[in-house]
Amino acid sequence: MNIIEVKNLTYSYSEEQINTLHNVNLTIKRGDYVSILGHNGSGKSTLAKVIMGLCPNYQGTITINGKELNKENLAAIRKDIVMVFQNPDNQFIGATVEDDIAFGLENAQVPHKEMRDIILDYANKVGMSNYLDKEPSNLSGGQKQRVAIAGVLALNPKIIIFDESTSMLDPKGKKEIYGLISLLKKNNPDLTVISITHDIEEAYLSDYIVVMNHGEVIKEGTPNEVLKNASELAKQNLDVPFQVKLIDALNKSGFDIKEDASLEEVGDIVCR
């Protein structure tokens, strides 16, 4: 079943600016891990903000978990969907890391006696349990992203949108967070994750990919469908993973290797 349905969505921030989003149609299946790709300014964050109900003056319809996005349903929808913003500074409200994670839980009316354990658990999961009494503004960019991620995961939502939420993490930190998300998805197969990312390796591992350009969805499908044409993606300014580049280059020089071949299979073909 589809957990998000976007139909004929058009949106502009102001009258002077025409169509930041133009006639976007998109369906997202419950339980999928969806990557949204596209170069800077293509409308990815705007799409996420409109879906979150933060930009009300749009044309079209948006349905989230069976409820149409409108004023009446907004409070109920906010229980289902959470977002980690691109700039982690926009996420912080509390005076300390602990207050900050607590704030979301308070809003979600989690009983006070359960809160402390949940905060500790998620701070631990993102490796920030030693920073609970620190001021969020004094943390590094990557630490802020970890706290912001803990804050939304603790809410146990149905849908999470990550807007380049691991962009400031080092490769080890990124791996840890992806590991945490895949563990959460394993324990809760209905959890839907939308990840806005420039990381093609991450996109390659997702169930579905959506590519945006100039406020429109220009391509969507499984990673094999979308990533099969490496040179087209390169034109979109996205970094293509090593394996796709390698297969593309080998095929151009006369080999006939399937797009989804593993590195071992590539090795067997090239070396035989």
Residue numbers of the site for ligand ATP (CB under 6 A)? Answer: 13, 17, 20, 38, 40-46, 86
Contacts with Mg ion by CB under 5 A: the residue count is 2
The 59-64 sheet, strands edge to edge: 21-29, 2-11, 59-64, 67-68
Applying CB under 5 A, which part among 38-46, 141-149, 222-230, 246-254 lies near Mg ion? Answer: 38-46
Residue 38: which of ligand ATP, Mg ion, none does it interact with, CB under 5 to 8 A by kind?
A: ligand ATP
CB of 25 to ligand ATP, least distance (A): 17
Residue 201 phi, psi (nearest 5): -60, -45
Does position 45 interact with Mg ion (CB under 5 A)? The reply is yes
Nearer to ligand ATP among residue 101 and residue 161 (C-beta)? 161
Applying CB under 5 A, which part among 6-14, 83-91, 97-105, 200-208 lies near Mg ion? Answer: 83-91
Nearer to ligand ATP among residue 51 and residue 150 (C-beta)? 51
Nearer to Mg ion among residue 86 and residue 206 (C-beta)? 86
Does position 167 interact with Mg ion (CB under 5 A)? The reply is no
Nearer to ligand ATP among residue 38 and residue 104 (C-beta)? 38
Applying CB under 5 A, which part among 42-50, 53-61, 68-76, 147-155 lies near Mg ion? Answer: 42-50
Nearer to ligand ATP among residue 131 and residue 162 (C-beta)? 162
Residue 219: which of Mg ion, ligand ATP, none does it interact with, CB under 5 to 8 A by kind?
A: none
Q: Taking CB positions, which residue lies at the least distance from Mg ion?
A: 45
Nearest to 196 by CA among 31, 29, 41, 9: 41
CB of 187 to Mg ion, least distance (A): 29
Nearer to ligand ATP among residue 52 and residue 101 (C-beta)? 52
What is the crossing angle of helices 141-153 and 171-187, to 10°? 0
Residue 243: which of ligand ATP, Mg ion, none does it interact with, CB under 5 to 8 A by kind?
A: none
Q: Which residues bind Mg ion (CB under 5 A)?
A: 45, 86
